[in-house]
Structure 1
């Protein structure tokens, strides 16, 4: 891809981001133009658009910032998105509509950056590569655009956390550590990203761990209203977390809350395959009761001497309102540590020889990366998925 075009587009987007509420204004303008010029596109989106607008800006920023750094990685990411977008019934013409509307929104944005023929061509060149990569991947895919699934078990392990197990209509091939989009019957067209907590299997059983987000549209319904027998739709797998079997390095995993799910899936896969690399897993939460799956992880550590599980909580005691059971330490397991997980992990050293994975909230990921960098951890050792 032309480096001059990338530079122009990146500068243009940074100018928009520098304006107060600039990205949100751009997103609103984009969708207004898209729906006005191509009314049929409205059917692809939910009635409430706030989160959709935020996701658009996050995706655009993620792609633009990485085009020059590692084109192979970002093109693979775009190919995944293209395969995933098949679930909407999107055709090649829709990519043209999106590109034209985004360019028009950028052109109309009241920015200090002058809009020139050169800048317009740069945006068109970059978006053409993005669209072509997504379209080529989608058109080359022979598998289903989405998987139907039936809920076979719903375990509400905490008031705000549920484990949902589904039977897919046909098995899905995914890498342990990836995530998928899901649509539940009570929230049509409101797709949410969840990470399977188990590796892919021939039986087509998939498990999700879901935490209720206060004020969320989908997660409260999933946690409190999911019924055995209801039908979900599951999109294609995304993300590049997973064990790198080519480098042979030991592994450090850090997961907070239900962020433990993709790490758990990888550990289960490793225990099935057998391997000789050491894995340190830090399972974090605010309170001890947040470590809802600690018993399973301890059991895996008992069976696999290469695995060390370290529980970490910010508070030493459960909150007064929690009335459920407390986890009982298994003899021989690592004692629970108290503190912010980023600082706790950094206190152990640089982990310079480890392949490191982070899964959790955006704040947790950013804070932990900062602590590890300050401790001397090479930034290139740390991986995490986009936070949207």
Structure 2
């Protein structure tokens, strides 16, 4: 795609998104156009469209921003295409959505801005998006979804639950990857979760879920899940994981339920003959937020390459949590007090390590900023969407 085409697309999109109520109007118009032209597509979406509108805008924005770097957007679009199989999306739906986007953009900008050249630039962009997503979806041989039956639901904190499921067939995924799940109480609404155990031939899977204030899916998982519930689970996504061809030592940093994908990697590593050294920083606001610390200590005691460093912002638990704070076993690192980014960067640059960060968006960005400020090379730091 030539520079003129990229410039026309980026300039047009900036005009729309910088206008007052522009993003909201654009997504409203896109879906209104789509449902008017293809009424059957309404069944692919949940009753509330807020999340769908937000995700569509984010995806378009990311592609437009990276349009001049195909090596960045093509893998993103391929992954998006494979993931969209869970919705039941067919080839014809990509054409319908593309037309809806073009009509909404033209209606918003008007004929003075929406010239023949702009129209052609956007048609090339939509064609690239559609063809890449369709190609990846149609070449995928794995099931679009698995069915998982809840076998255990354990509430470990007021707002955190551990859920174990038995899949209808084994799912192969890399430790550190994530999937999306749909639960009975929230049909056609999907939430990304990272398995907390490695893939296994028995089809067992485990998730750690924190209830998000104002969220749609996580409150139903934490507060309403019961054994016997049937979940839909999509094919795995993401590239977070340990490179078996690289022997560089590692730093893993997790906050809250972000421990799940790192825990799965550590469990998988424990089954190997040799591993690089790993420093795991596991953090929370209160000591009780380190709900899985005893499992991590057990891993560390049987695997000398693993060092576990507990971190909490507060020294004591809140008044409503009455269980005692667990004491570090002999030989284990004592709990440190402070924000995890500040604590980790206080040890130095870690420039000789591969670093993985998992947690909320704010935690990931703050920790990354602290590390960069301490001299950590940006290419050493990896993270996927928050857990």
- Tell me which residue corresponds to 1:14: 14
Determine if contact 1:182/1:233 at 8 Å carries over to the other structure.
yes
Match of 1:205 in 2: 204
Structure-2-length-normalised TM-score: 0.94
Q: 1:63 to 1:198 in 2, by over 3 A?
A: farther
Other-structure match for 2:43: 43
Q: Which residue of 1 aligns with 2:165?
A: 166
Q: 1:301 to 1:135 in 2, by over 3 A?
A: same
Report the 3-state secondary structure (helix = DSSP H, G, I; strand = E; otherwise coil) of the residue aligned with 2:208.
Answer: strand
Aligned-partner Cα distance in 1 for 2:310–2:82: 37
TM superposition shift of 1:6 = 3.0
Shift of 1:219: 1.0
TM-score by length of 1: 0.94
SS of match in other structure, 1:272: coil
Tell me the number of residue pairs that the alignment of Structure 1 and Structure 2 aligns.
387
CA distance in structure 2 between the aligned counterparts of 1:201 and 1:285, rounded to whole angstroms: 29
Which range moved further: 33-42 or 22-31? 22-31
* C-alpha distance after superposition, 1:178-205 (max 9, x if no partner): 1111111111111111111111111110
User: 1:305: how far off?
Assistant: 1.1
1-structure distance, mates of 2:156, 2:325: 12
The Cα RMSD (Å) is: 2.0
Structure 1 residue aligned with 2:107: 108
Per mean C-alpha deviation after superposition, the further-off stretch among 13-22 and 351-360 is 13-22
CA separation of 1:330/1:100 partners in 2, compared to 1, >3 Å: closer, same or farther? same
Q: Secondary structure at the match of 1:27?
A: helix
What's the offset of the Cα at 1:177?
0.9
Offset, 1:326: 2.3
Aligned to 2:29: 29
Aligned to 1:176: 175
For residues 228-281 of structure 1, what are the alpha-carbon distances to aligned partners after superposition, in whole Å with 9 as ceiling and x for unaligned?
Answer: 111111011111111123433221111111111111111111111233311111
How far apart, in 2, do the equivalents of 1:114 and 1:19 lie?
14
Q: Does the 8 Å CA contact 2:247/2:275 hold for their aligned counterparts? A: no
How far is 1:14 from its partner? 3.1
Give the match for residue 66 of structure 1.
66
| Aligned residues of 1:92 and 1:135 also touching (Cα < 8 A) | yes
How far off is 1:76 after superposition? Answer: 2.4
Contact 1:178 1:195 (C-alpha < 8 Å) held by counterparts: yes
Distance 1:99 1:85 in 2: 15
Partner of 1:269: 268
Matching residue of 1:357? 356
Aligned equivalents of 2:274 and 2:336: distance in 1? 27
In structure 2, relative to structure 1, the CA distance for the partners of 1:101 and 1:339 (3 Å cut) is same
Tell me the CA shift for residue 23 of structure 1: 2.6
Residue of structure 1 equivalent to 2:302: 303
Contact kept in structure 2, 1:81 and 1:238, CA below 8 Å:
no
Aligned 8 A contact 2:258 2:386 in 1: no
Once residues 52 and 105 of structure 1 are traced to their aligned partners in structure 2, the CA distance between those partners, rounded to angstroms, is 16
Which 5+ residue runs of structure 2 have no aligned equivalent? Answer: none
- Per-residue deviation, 1:118: 1.9
**Cα distance, 1:297–1:373 mapped onto 2, change above 3 Å:** same
| Structure 1 spans left out of the alignment, 5+ residues | none
- Stretches (4+) displaced over 6 A: none
Task: State how far apart, in whole Å, the 1-side matches of 2:110 and 2:288 are.
Answer: 49
